[in-house]
Copies of this chain bind each other. A is one copy, B any other.
Amino acid sequence: MTNCDTANDGFHDECGVFGVLDHPEASNLTYLGLYAQQHRGQESAGIVSYDGDQFINRRGMGMVADIFQKKDIKRLSGRLAIGHVRYSTSGESGLRNCQPFSYEYAHGGIAMCHNGNIVNARVLRRELEENGSIFQSTSDTEVLIHLVAKSSSDTTEGRLKEAVSRLEGGFSFLVLTEDKLIGLRDRNGIRPLVLGQLDGVWVLASETCAFDLIGANYVRDVEPGEMVVIRKTGLESHKLLDNPSLRFCVFEYVYFSRPDSTLEGVNVYQARYGIGEQLADESPIDADMVIPVPDSGVPPAMGFAARSGIPLQMGLIRNHYVGRTFIEPRQSIRNFGVKLKLNANAAMIRGKRVILVDDSIVRGTTSRKIVEMVRAAGASEIHLRISSPPTRHSCFYGIDTPSDNELIANRMTQDEMCSAIGADSLAFVSRDGLYRAIKRPCSVHCDACFSGEYPVPIEGLERKNPPSLLRFNSKKR
């Protein structure tokens, strides 16, 4: 899947989080930590800091570098802060769903944000509503805050433990109180959360690339089912959930994470490169050149080219100056959506047999347009190689996939797909090959989107937001 199909096709990016405690420039570091994780969500961003007296909040629609001005960072004073970038996965869009949320309750102020999805959020919300709770957003985070507020435990840790034990799903939460920064991960560690240090101060992020930018050192991944509680006096680890068992999302390696991040001990770039090599071994083909579909197709294409000995060429050029919206002429341009972001370099391609390497096929529409564009640029043969197994199942743990029946791999055989997309041949890396390339056992991963093996029960769920959660439609300015 290429970046150019976010509007029409496929998986969307998830969310990214960042937190820091006891640093004089907490909000500035958070801003940079979010900036480095912008690829995890471009719809909205927010930061909450605590200045010793009050919680300060700034949220907005758009990109980190546009939302936060110098004066905002200055206003977000204090030595504690958490932040969030978001691409809506549950909860419709709009400012009122922007995280972090900050609330006041019996025990003071509390701010929260999360990455992932709570599969029993609807059930919990109904139960809360029946007991008199009111909801202003459609975000899962609001459900957790209500559960925390209702807990009778007399510590924040106890209240969180009690509340989180009610949640099912794949999620990583950051929580900020007047004197604590807390990070926690679901019992299967489906979504990432990493711990680092900067000049003796603890930082939490979704990906290690956030640490690189601010010069922090990676220390370790937060464990599945673990809650780390960070105070000025140091870090405590709590066992939050019973029976932890790592099932880390394998799609983080295939597509989501930045290639320079290392998650659960595996460098993302190296994983992708290795999958490309594996793919060359599994599905070799004679051709004149290997062309990556930028950007996530680049590392596997490099691995494929290196292993196969077929020259790598950048036959698809990405336009880096992509804005939000484009005005299409009435007299429509063929494959307009794809062309705005990619252009086939005909001078390179004309008359050549090309191997296109992409990361995934979701609905298939983007792949078809890219193949068409390369064909129009004069390629004599087009062989499509995909660096993940066929995507056959929806994700319920924080990745915005279409429902099962919209997934092309669910509706067609591989031959039918090849023909629908218009390629001369089509091959996916095998599930076994994928894990061989990553050099990690299948058992520590969630690959439900390929295998249908959901580590957390999802019965009764439909993927899309239920109508009852969509009673509101607000757009504040």
On A, residues with C-beta under 8 Å from B are 24-25, 28-29, 31-32, 35-36, 38-39, 42, 54-61, 63-70, 73, 75, 95-96, 98, 101-106, 108-110, 126, 129-130, 132-136, 145-146, 149-151, 209, 212-215, 258-260, 262, 267, 269-270, 273, 295, 298-299, 302, 306, 311-314, 317, 319-331, 333-334, 339-340, 343-348, 470-477
Contacts A295-B320, A320-B320; A54 near B473 (Cβ below 8 A) = yes
Contacts A58-B476, A344-B260; A106 near B135 (Cβ below 8 A) = no
Hey, which chain B residues are within 8 Å of A150, CB to CB?
132
Contact A302 B306, beta carbon cutoff 8 Å: no
| Given A69-B327, A213-B340, A269-B314, 5 new contacts (CB under 8 A) | A55-B473, A110-B134, A132-B149, A133-B149, A213-B339
Q: How far is the CA of A258 from the CA of B318 in the complex (A)?
A: 10
Q: How far is the CA of A477 from the CA of B47 in the complex (A)?
A: 13
Can you name 10 A-B residue pairings with CB atoms under 8 Å? A55-B473, A56-B474, A58-B476, A70-B327, A106-B130, A108-B471, A109-B472, A212-B343, A214-B333, A260-B317
A356 to chain B, nearest CB (A): 16
Instruction: Give the number of times this chain occurs in the complex, counting copies.
Output: 4
Contact with A477, one of B60, B63, B312 (Cβ below 8 angstroms): B60
Contact B212 A339, beta carbon cutoff 8 Å: yes
Contact B35 A321, beta carbon cutoff 8 Å: yes
Residue in chain B with minimal CB distance to A330: B25
Residue in chain B with minimal CB distance to A472: B55
- Say whether chain A's binding surface is mostly helix, strand, loop, or mixed: mixed
Of A60, A324, A326, most buried by chain B (CB within 10 Å of CB) is: A326
Q: How far is the CA of A329 from the CA of B24 in the complex (A)?
A: 10
Contact A55 B106, beta carbon cutoff 8 Å: no
Hey, which chain B residues are within 8 Å of A126, CB to CB?
106
Contact A259 B105, beta carbon cutoff 8 Å: no
Contact with A474, one of B29, B57, B136, B212 (Cβ below 8 angstroms): B57
Q: How far is the CA of A237 from the CA of B86 in the complex (A)?
A: 47
Q: How far is the CA of A284 from the CA of B324 in the complex (A)?
A: 44
Contacts A136-B136, A270-B348, A343-B209; A98 near B476 (Cβ below 8 A) = yes
Hey, which chain B residues are within 8 Å of A96, CB to CB?
57
Hey, which chain B residues are within 8 Å of A98, CB to CB?
476
Q: How far is the CA of A38 from the CA of B341 in the complex (A)?
A: 12
Contact B146 A102, beta carbon cutoff 8 Å: no
Contact A262 B343, beta carbon cutoff 8 Å: no
A67 to chain B, nearest CB (A): 7
A389 to chain B, nearest CB (A): 24
Contact A347 B267, beta carbon cutoff 8 Å: yes
